[in-house]
Amino acid sequence: MIGRATRKATLEAIERHEKAVRALAAREALLAEARQDLDRALQAGGLGRYTDQRLGSFKLGKIIGRGGMGEVYEAVHAESGAPAAVKLLSAPYLAEPDEVRRFLRETRIVAALKDPHVVQVLEVGGAGAPVPYLAMELLRGTDLAQQLRERGRVSLRFVVALLRQVGTALAAARAAGIVHRDLKPRNLFHALPASGAGEPVWKILDFGVSKLLDAGATVTRDRLVGTPAYMAPEQALGEPVSHRTDLWALGVICYRALTGRPAFTGGGTPETLFQVVHGMPPAPSELARLPAEVDLVLALAMAKAPGDRFDRAEELADALDAAAEGVVSEEVRVRAEAVLARMAWGHAAGRGL
């Protein structure tokens, strides 16, 4: 009796310890994510060097966002007064021919994508403009990163609806031979209708590091680009990318949205990329109340080999929709079990491995 009681007490203590470690790891991951978002938020706002100046048809106002190489200004059309957002290169990059070419390339890419779930381009200022710029529709709403900070995690139905809308934009990009290469919660924007009536729609932002598949070496000189926590293994290894590289990122976004914690985190970029290439996070159903079938679907979405993943976002959405009801097709089950046999989900008590 004493032995059984001791064993029971020991097992309960181990379980409490694992829960505490799991909660601590999740808090650390979310804190790191929040720090990054806060740093970006602090960079936005206020006046910029082009505030109150006119570029093309638009008069620029305050800075509303900054990225790795550009600034985004709130603006209005000089004649009609219609609102817009104008993106232009940050001053340090204007003297770099490669960066100018890269920016102009982004403007061509975004302007060529005609899809309601890609931000609408209003005007492009090319090499003849005082400074290269891209005028776009001004979006009102919130990005997925902000929603996840406020809500922690979201429902399967929410994620499926997001996938179906974002999937049409990725299909348009694929048809144009474009890989985004930097999909993440901050680049998925839930935009309110300009009229104020109707439901918000999801739009993909920032094609600044996208790659044209038929263009060979890009002006980025094929250096490592993207956000480490959402970078596909082939991208992290400097190998060729494809449309399935974006689908990997979409799978990792689903994991973050459904479980409330990032899939891959580390003390720095090398550690995070090591986990992306060689590790797996805990199974989603260990972190949130989700059907076990979701584990199978996301195992395919986050498969290390591109050929093991879904081919289209619509397929991922359909599979998650079925998994919400505790169902997966036999094909998905067999493929997912084969993927997990090669690299299983990690343990919830670990740090993403």
Please state the φ and ψ torsions of residue 136, each to the nearest 5 degrees.
-130, 165
Higher pLDDT, 136 or 267: 136
pLDDT digits (tens, 9 = 90+) for 286-299: 999 999 999 999 99
Question: Residue 112's pLDDT band (boundaries 50, 70, 90)?
Answer: confident
Cβ atoms < 10 Å from Cβ of 195 = 6
pLDDT for the residue 353? 35
pLDDT tens-digit map of 25-68: 555 555 555 555 544 544 455 778 889 999 999 999 999 887 66
Band the pLDDT of 207: cuts 50, 70, 90.
confident
- Per the DSSP assignment, residues forming a β-bridge with 54 are 59
Q: Which CATH class is domain 141-342?
A: mainly alpha
Q: Per residue in 217-242, pLDDT tens?
A: 343 444 556 789 999 999 999 999 99
What residues pair up with 71 in beta bridges, in sequence order?
A: 66, 88
Residue-range domain boundaries for the chain: 54-136, 141-342
Q: How confident is the model at residue 24 (pLDDT cuts 50, 70, 90)?
A: low
| DSSP code string of 275-303 | HHHH---B-HHHHSS--HHHHHHHHHHT-
Tell me, yes or no, if the two domains 54-136 and 141-342 fold the same way: no
pLDDT band at residue 168 under the 50/70/90 scheme: very high
Note the pLDDT of residue 100: 79
Question: CA-CA distance, 170 to 69, in Å (whole number)?
Answer: 23
Distances (CA, A) of 167 to 99, 164, 188: 29, 5, 12
How far apart (Å, rounded) are the C-alpha atoms in residues 230 and 138? Answer: 26
- Specify the 3-state DSSP secondary structure of 226: coil
Model pTM? Answer: 0.80
CA 111: distance to chain centroid? Answer: 21
Report whether 147 contacts 307 (CB < 8 A). Answer: no
Q: What is the pLDDT of residue 352?
A: 36
Question: Which one from 115, 143, 182, 318 is the annotated catalytic residue?
Answer: 182
CA–CA distance, 150 with 33 (Å, rounded to integer): 13
Q: What are phi and psi of 59, to 5 degrees?
A: -100, 130
Mean pLDDT of 341-349: 85
Closest to 135 in 3D by CA, of 119, 157, 152: 119
Clarify whether 182 is annotated catalytic: yes
Question: Do residues 162 and 117 touch, judged by C-beta distance below 8 A?
Answer: no
CATH topology of domain 54-136: Phosphorylase Kinase; domain 1 (3.30.200)
Quote the pLDDT of residue 67: 67
